[in-house]
Each structure stands twice: as C-alpha cells, then as structure tokens.
Structure 1
Amino acid sequence: MILGYARVSTDDQKLDSQVDALTEVGAERVFSERISGSVRNRPELDRLLDQLRSGDVIVVTKYDRLARSLRDLLEIVEAINARGAGFRSLAEDIDTTTPAGRLIFHVFASIAQFERERISERTREGLAAAKRRGRIGGRPPALTENQKVEVRRMRDEEHRPLPEIATLFRVSTKTVRRA
C-alpha cells in the first residue's frame, strides 16, 4: 500500500498541492498535519508509522516534509525500514525500496545536513565580524545601569518584594532578580 504524508508548518499554509501530488502517484491514504517539522511529536506521523506494514511505501513530496534534521530523517526512515516498508520522496526522486535509492537517500541527507551546518557557520562568522566592528546583536537590555542600581537599592534598603519592583519597572521578576 502506498501511504502519503503531507505537512505544513503554519495554519496559513495550504496542504492541497502536497495532497494532490501524493494522490496522483497512487497514495491510497494521506496523513496530513499542520505542525512545525522541528517538533518531533507529530500525531499524524506517529499514527502513520503505527499503521505501517511490511511492503508499504511512505511517499512525501519533499523529504523536508518528513524531518528537519538529518538525525530525525535517518531515524524516521530507519523506523520505516525496520517495519519492512520503503520511503519515497518525489522532489528528490528518492526511493529506498531500491539499493540505488538508498544510496542516493544517504547522499542527499548528508548534503542537506552539510548545507545547514554551513549556513550556521556563516551566521556565526557574520555575528563575530559584526562584534569586532563594535556591533552587538540581540535585544537591548530591559534595564539601564541606573535602573539596576535603583532596583538593588529598593530591594536592599526599602526591602520591597521583587514582584513589586518588577511591576514598577514594567519588567519580569526574573529581570529584577538578574539585576
């Protein structure tokens, strides 16, 4: 049996094109959900894997619909293989029911992981270069240095509770505690 899996990350995205493509290649049943790929607990994917039988093939339009990281992708495909089933991705033309398809799957997955790591590395390099030029990223501090001094004075001299101080400065109690 060919089983489809379709996923979008947000409510405003549509599943229609994925479902149509999966139906067109013969998916007898399509499991779909609206949830981020970074979330590992995906009810419909879990339901699909639970119902998987030997000889079945799970089809997705793109392999990033199944997983966001190489580790997750490999774990999910391993679970599929352990049940005697196969995996097929339409966009990448991967079909793990064949030896060549399994090889291509691992090569593509490795390249995708390499690409994500390079993006992360370039981001870190860019932030370091900006920092060397005196630019500091991130959110501005919630309290100025003068406000931090006043927070400590109110706590130590006036013995005011932290939640009260936080309310006065319109910040969280955690911010007051850090100050």
Structure 2
Amino acid sequence: MDVKIRPETPDDHREIEELVKAAFTSGDRNDPDEHHLVNKLRKTDAFIPELSLVAEMDGSILGHIMLSKIAIEEEGRTTGSLALAPVSVAPAWQHKGIGGKLIRASLEKAQGLGYQSVVVLGHDKYYPKFGFKPASGWGIRAPFDVPDEAFMAIELVDDALDDVRGTVQYSEPFS
C-alpha cells in the first residue's frame, strides 16, 4: 500500500470535510460536527498549515490529521504546546495503519518545526503506541472532566514538559 503523507492544500478542503464527517459518524463514533472543528481551526491563529496533513493514495484522500496551537497555563505562566485533533481515516481504510502513519508523520513534522510537546484526548490503548503518556504525570490537566488515562501528552524534545504544570487552554473552535 503506497500511501503518501503530505500537507493539505485548499483544493483538498471539501474532500477532507467529507472524510472527517464519514470517519466520525461510522462504527462506534457519533460526532457529526467534528468536520466543523477542522474548518473553524483553519480560520484561527492556532492553525498551522504545515501540520494539517493528509494520507493520499492514487489521488484519493484516505486520512487527515491536524495539530494546532494550544497553551498550558498556571499562575500566570504560559507554555505553548500542540493539540492533536482530529485524526480521521475513511471508514473503508480504518485499521490498516493509515492513522498511525499520520500520527508519526505529524509528530515528526512538529518536532522539525521546533514544537516541543503535543496533547491528545483519545483512546488510552491506542495513543501510548506512539509515546503518549497520561498528561497528569507532568501536572497537566484538561479544562474539562475526562478520564485521566484518556488525556495524554508526549514530549517531542526530551524533558520539554519537566517544568510545565497547569490547565490546557484550547483555541476557541474547541469550545
């Protein structure tokens, strides 16, 4: 399977919207508004075009991932980080490694761009495969009530989160 990972282009937006919509309304997922998050994020300062990636094969987009800017805040101290959300794979292509390729590529690209950490709210059996650990281990909290094991972070630079504590502040589209 020859899947190419590349940054999205404006010409991809409609196909990405349909893909995200399908991915988040199939199987046990039921979030028919997730595609709106992608569109809203693109219109904010949190959007990083180089970190909105697609998985493409034979001219068709099979998956999409977006990392966007967030802040971790406590007692007047703010540390920049990234949120991994969403990651989407077309229903017919799920469980074939495409999501993993997108995650690895996005983390590598983020590190290359100088970002130091990424936070994700997700499946506690899936994201640890990529190095994510409970964010609480660093004293990082979600701004809403979630199971500790589902709110995770990864350091892209060794010890990047050692002195970071606080609550994640997502950009407005997440509210």
Same fold (TM over 0.5): no
Higher relative contact order (CA 8 A, sep 6+): 2
- Greater per-residue strand proportion: 2
TM-score, normalised to structure 1's length?
0.29
TM-score, normalised to structure 2's length?
0.29
